[in-house]
Chain A
Amino acid sequence: MEEVDVEPSTTLIPGAGFYQKHLGFEWGPGDLIVYETNYKLQGPRSAGSPSVHIVRRDEDICSPILRKLFSESHLIFVGLQKIKEDVPSKNKKSQFVSISKNYRSVIRACMEELQQNAVSTQSGSLASQYGDQVSILLAIELIWNLCEVLFIDAAPAGSLLLQLLDWVRLHKSDVDAKAREVLQSDSPAQHQSYWDVVISLVLQGRTDEARQVLSKQASLRAESSSVFKRMDGLLQTMPIFNPTGTQTLTEFEVKWRHWHEECDRCLQDNTFASNRHLETICKILVGDEDTLLEQKELLSTWYHFLVTRLLFTHPTIKPPDLHYYAQSSMNMFLGPRASPEPLDIILLSAFEFDLHQVIKDCSIALNNWWFVAHLTDLLDHCKLLQSHNLHFGSNLREFLVLEYASGLFTHHSLWQLAVDYFDHCPEFGRVYLELQIERVPLDTERKAIKVLRICEDRQMSEQVRSICKIMAKRALRNNRLGSALSWTIRAKDAAFATLISERFLQDYSNKGSFTDLDLLDNLGPAMLLSDSLTFLGKYREFHRLYGEKRFSEAARLLLSLMTAKIAPRSLWMTLLTDALPLLEQKEVIFSVDQTYELMSCLEELNSGTKHSNLTDQDEDIESTKTELLRLALARNLTMAIVKEGTIET
């Protein structure tokens, strides 16, 4: 079995290697940076201005069209994963076949669009690039279709050949174009491609159409009409197996043998000696290998030759016997000197039912994880792959799907598709997703929330925390405290919450008002994340109550902030100062007990270490404040005592 391994290609980076001979590099998201350098650190000083080169795949041209391929196949993939395990496999086969056809139709749609672009574009290089992509997709669809016939549909003898015929017909569409051209011309029988068309149709087993084209000839030459009638008869009576019919394979075989003998008799009798074209056709019907090989140009590929050969010599071919004919057909067709190309080898492996070889060769030969990942996944669902024991416990299907999805992740919008693929990789999907989703750039809040939702849905708590922390830090750097706070709460980061709360309070003491009132008013249980945050929330609540003139509630809250030790010591003075307006109201708000508590707070504050680094001016202010408070408290006390002592009448 020939290997399709090729030596790695060398890609040259223009503009590097002139001044310095070493090439430095760094991995980027989906690309590689290279730059010339000198690791020995002793080289000559760089004369020119060094550049860095970013090497990446060129997606621009094909990407909108390929993107459609990726997103539509993503839908099919997800649908496939949902097929329940408990459905009996007989019913599942038709489902799998239809999924396979869906994939193929997506490939074809993509191909057609690329083809249109290739034709309509002005640029020569663009056209050839489109053309390249079309070629690759053609190859992919060819291989996929064959795998569908051989592995997924797993047609038995009889149907097998019919499906292979369909396969060949689908991939050799120029016959139809030529046939149309001939039939639409003024004099079809005189058209230079006339006989080519007839023979091509016969080679593809399209006997009815061949007869139709032949009839154009017959109407012209009256004297040779009998010969044409004879050929018409042969073509008409060629038995085609009907899988849904009542005829068994053996019965068909018998019928076919009779017909085959009749064709042979025509040759022996020289029935078609007068017309060399008809003679050729008869030889084809008989399955004469040399004649078939003479039609190389019309057949154009060895696998067409293979199927045609089988059609006319062995229409009841059984799957296990296929490989023998495949190998010999390839050898015969390509000849001794030509060496098979990667595509040929892949198809041959398919005919040999060596699935693993097919996948392996496709992985190597095609620059396309999309194909092997989806095909292998489908084959795995059909239970056609034996699980290999890989060293890290995963299997082939998962390996390929992970590779494909990892590639998607580097794309700025397709990364969301990749998430579903990772979800369906039981061994490593989660850890790959965790690793890669962290790297999605958080350009906007909306994007960050999108990423977060994905992580939250999958309980990836560390990633959630990390992303929220990054956003919080960014908001804090830009002084957007409200945003920073809400991200911090989402991150459940207590330490950072404390930090931000302190910034809020600092802001408040500088400006005299709070920012982001909406957020602070609606903290809810999130308030409990950190003590500072709790204080901030409650303090704001105090201000709100005061604003709504609910003075006694406000007073109670203020006091509790100090007595329950929620408020940091450093802010007690501020709180007590906040209490002043309440103390100076006409009506008594603080009760006697409350007043005593306030007084003891004040004394506790003053008995603490005096800050020696206060300026004289500040010390003056502090002592004035204390005096004012003492006075206000004393006044309140008297009024409270009186009020409480008075009996209401």
Chain B
Amino acid sequence: MFVAKSIAADHKDLIHDVSYDFHGRRMATCSSDQSVKVWDKGDDGEWHCTASWKTHSGSVWRVTWAHPEFGQVLASCSFDRTAAVWEEIVGESNDKQRGQSHWIKRTTLVDSRTSVTDVKFAPKHMGLMLTTCSADGVVRIYEAPDVMNLSQWSLQHEISCKLSCSCISWNPSSSRAHPPMIAVGSDDSNITYSGKVQIYEYNENTRKYAKAETLMTVTDPVHDITFAPNLGRSFHVLAIATKDVRIFKLIPMRRESANSSGPTKFEVQVMAQFDSHNSQVWRVSWNITSTLLASSGDDGCVRLWKANYMDNWKCTGILRGDGSPVNGSGHAAALSAVGVPVAAQMVVGAASAGRLKHSMLQYFY
């Protein structure tokens, strides 16, 4: 049995991104109404909006939380060509009683000449580093050297990708077996440059990021990209949202000589490819243990994909709007599953086992 709880987000325009914080107790939403809202989950399990403020002078595309080791920090990026960093300050006690918190802008990053399409914090073991990518084809990596002073950020790297960038993803692995790695996706429809996914790797010697791999087989515009959590594997897994859902396996190849100083060479394999959306796929995201991948497409569905222990991937569930107007907030509606036989027939008192219902419950882990 499922419940869907609706929360009236009260944004005055389209919501473009929703982001949970690390512990899943806070949530940030951003919208074309140029604002960001922060929601806190109370002890009663209900979500309350504790902050809402105007962040940019254009649509806000993405919002993301920093790791809680750095405090309560948010970053947002917008059509207005900027990205911003926000920090929550502990307010007066009567604010707390009213359930409100204050966020102040620590910095605005104005280097981009075009809309900033994605903003992501790098894995925490790299320090407090923020990455943006823009339609101008540049990925920028900023660092806050003093984590106690979030108004000082320095632009450490500028990676020119030559193609308009739509999304970035850091490899979350903190293993010392490989250097920091970032994947960049492009939604450029330019056909001269065919590989729309580029992978850059940090080089300890040159102290710069160098391109390690271009996925040449991805020729259509890429809308979203995400590395899977590593879980002790020796290879990397990358999911891509393009005209279909694709999962790549990147196997680092052994270096020929100990002195070779270039980026790692990878063997690239396609682990899975799903075209069930039958249309453009806009978002892909892994759950925490990388056992489930969710994708959202032009068909208005969110699909869940799972690999069994034999590594066969299957779609294990589909979510879709029912096309009805919102019926007010806070109602927990029991959802009906379409196309499934009637729920397990129960014969009270008799020892009949009844039918077994195929259901999605297991997929939310």
CB atoms of A56 and B355 under 8 A apart? no
A588–B365 CA distance with the chains assembled, in angstroms: 73
Q: B6 contacts which of A10, A15, A22, A27 (Cβ < 8 Å)?
A: A15
Considering the complex, which residues of chain B in the window 325-340 have a beta carbon less than 8 Å from any beta carbon of chain A? 325-327, 329, 332-340
A390–B141 CA distance with the chains assembled, in angstroms: 38
List of B residues within 8 angstroms of A7 by Cβ: 339
A-B residue pair count with CB separations less than 8 angstroms: 351
CB atoms of B365 and A12 under 8 A apart? no
A171–B356 CA distance with the chains assembled, in angstroms: 17
List of B residues within 8 angstroms of A23 by Cβ: 296, 300-302, 319-321
Considering the complex, which residues of chain A in the window 438-478 have a beta carbon less than 8 Å from any beta carbon of chain B? 438-443, 462, 466, 469-470, 473-474, 477-478
Stretch in A32-40, A77-85, A260-268 with 4+ CB within 8 Å of B: A32-40
List of A residues within 8 angstroms of B317 by Cβ: 8-9, 11
Q: B23 contacts which of A22, A125, A441 (Cβ < 8 Å)?
A: A441
Shortest Cβ distance from A472 into B: residue: B69
Stretch in B154-162, B257-265, B346-354 with 4+ CB within 8 Å of A: B346-354
CB atoms of A55 and B339 under 8 A apart? no
B24 CB, nearest partner CB in chain A, Å: 4
List of A residues within 8 angstroms of B253 by Cβ: none
Answer yes or no: B18 CB below 8 A from chain A CBs.
yes
Number of interface residues of B (CB under 8 A): 111
List of A residues within 8 angstroms of B302 by Cβ: 23, 25, 32, 34
CB atoms of A172 and B72 under 8 A apart? no
CB atoms of B360 and A11 under 8 A apart? yes
List of B residues within 8 angstroms of A409 by Cβ: 365
CB atoms of B285 and A25 under 8 A apart? yes
Could you give, for residues 45-75 of chain A, a 1 whenever the CB lies within 8 Å of some chain B CB and a 0 otherwise? 1101111111111100100000000000000
The B interface, classified by DSSP as helix, strand, loop or mixed, is loop
Answer yes or no: B54 CB below 8 A from chain A CBs.
no
The listed residue with most B CB atoms (<10 A of its CB), out of A11, A37, A115, A499, is: A11
CB atoms of A367 and B15 under 8 A apart? no
Shortest Cβ distance from A397 into B: residue: B309
List of A residues within 8 angstroms of B212 by Cβ: none
CB atoms of B15 and A52 under 8 A apart? yes
CB atoms of A26 and B19 under 8 A apart? yes
Shortest Cβ distance from A395 into B: residue: B309
Answer yes or no: A134 CB below 8 A from chain B CBs.
yes
Answer yes or no: B286 CB below 8 A from chain A CBs.
yes
CB atoms of B15 and A132 under 8 A apart? no
Answer yes or no: A338 CB below 8 A from chain B CBs.
no
Q: A24 contacts which of B4, B15, B336 (Cβ < 8 Å)?
A: B15
Q: B346 contacts which of A55, A135, A428, A436 (Cβ < 8 Å)?
A: A135
A136 and B361 contact, Cβ closer than 8 Å, known pairs A7-B339, A388-B309: no
Answer yes or no: A16 CB below 8 A from chain B CBs.
yes
CB atoms of A406 and B289 under 8 A apart? yes
Could you give, for residues 115-149 of chain A, a 1 whenever the CB lies within 8 Å of some chain B CB and a 0 otherwise? 10011000001001101101110110010000000
A478–B92 CA distance with the chains assembled, in angstroms: 11
Q: A368 contacts which of B4, B24, B362 (Cβ < 8 Å)?
A: B362
Could you give, for residues 393-417 of chain A, a 1 whenever the CB lies within 8 Å of some chain B CB and a 0 otherwise? 0101001101100110110000000
A558–B188 CA distance with the chains assembled, in angstroms: 68
A473 and B69 contact, Cβ closer than 8 Å, known pairs A26-B20, A49-B8: yes
A444–B333 CA distance with the chains assembled, in angstroms: 32
Q: B356 contacts which of A35, A366, A394 (Cβ < 8 Å)?
A: A366
Answer yes or no: B179 CB below 8 A from chain A CBs.
no
A10 and B351 contact, Cβ closer than 8 Å, known pairs A27-B285, A33-B20, A391-B311: no
A20–B148 CA distance with the chains assembled, in angstroms: 41
A202 CB, nearest partner CB in chain B, Å: 18
A557 CB, nearest partner CB in chain B, Å: 30
Considering the complex, which residues of chain B in the window 69-86 have a beta carbon less than 8 Å from any beta carbon of chain A? 69-72
Answer yes or no: B357 CB below 8 A from chain A CBs.
yes
CB atoms of A49 and B18 under 8 A apart? no
The listed residue with most A CB atoms (<10 A of its CB), out of B8, B14, B69, B229, is: B14
A439–B289 CA distance with the chains assembled, in angstroms: 11
A135 and B322 contact, Cβ closer than 8 Å, known pairs A49-B10, A403-B365, A436-B289: no
Q: B364 contacts which of A32, A37, A364, A435 (Cβ < 8 Å)?
A: A32
The listed residue with most B CB atoms (<10 A of its CB), out of A49, A173, A409, is: A49
Shortest Cβ distance from B11 into A: residue: A50
Answer yes or no: B7 CB below 8 A from chain A CBs.
yes
CB atoms of A432 and B231 under 8 A apart? yes
CB atoms of A43 and B344 under 8 A apart? no
CB atoms of B338 and A11 under 8 A apart? yes
A6–B349 CA distance with the chains assembled, in angstroms: 29
CB atoms of B296 and A22 under 8 A apart? yes
CB atoms of B20 and A27 under 8 A apart? yes
Shortest Cβ distance from B333 into A: residue: A14
List of B residues within 8 angstroms of A320 by Cβ: none
Answer yes or no: B254 CB below 8 A from chain A CBs.
no
List of A residues within 8 angstroms of B68 by Cβ: 470, 473-474
A343–B355 CA distance with the chains assembled, in angstroms: 7
CB atoms of A32 and B356 under 8 A apart? no
List of B residues within 8 angstroms of A37 by Cβ: 14-16
List of B residues within 8 angstroms of A391 by Cβ: 311
Q: B14 contacts which of A20, A30, A135, A462 (Cβ < 8 Å)?
A: A20
CB atoms of B310 and A11 under 8 A apart? no
Answer yes or no: A174 CB below 8 A from chain B CBs.
yes
A18–B325 CA distance with the chains assembled, in angstroms: 6
Answer yes or no: B324 CB below 8 A from chain A CBs.
yes
A367 and B321 contact, Cβ closer than 8 Å, known pairs A32-B294, A138-B351: no
Answer yes or no: A342 CB below 8 A from chain B CBs.
yes
A438–B90 CA distance with the chains assembled, in angstroms: 24
B224 CB, nearest partner CB in chain A, Å: 9
Q: A52-B9, A441-B23 are in contact. List 9 more A-B contacts (CB 8 A).
A: A11-B335, A12-B338, A36-B321, A37-B16, A367-B358, A369-B362, A402-B289, A443-B25, A462-B174
What 4 A-B pairs are tightest by C-beta distance, nearest first?
A17-B321, A16-B321, A131-B346, A29-B24
**Interface residues, chain B, with chain A CB atoms under 8 Å away:** 1-20, 22-25, 27, 29, 31-32, 47, 59, 68-72, 90, 124, 148, 174, 223, 229, 231-233, 280, 282-283, 285-289, 291, 294, 296, 298, 300-304, 308-311, 314-327, 329, 332-340, 343-362, 364-365
Q: List 19 A-B contacts (CB under 8 A).
A: A10-B338, A12-B320, A13-B319, A15-B325, A24-B17, A26-B18, A26-B19, A31-B364, A32-B364, A34-B319, A36-B15, A41-B59, A49-B9, A58-B332, A171-B351, A174-B350, A342-B355, A439-B23, A440-B23
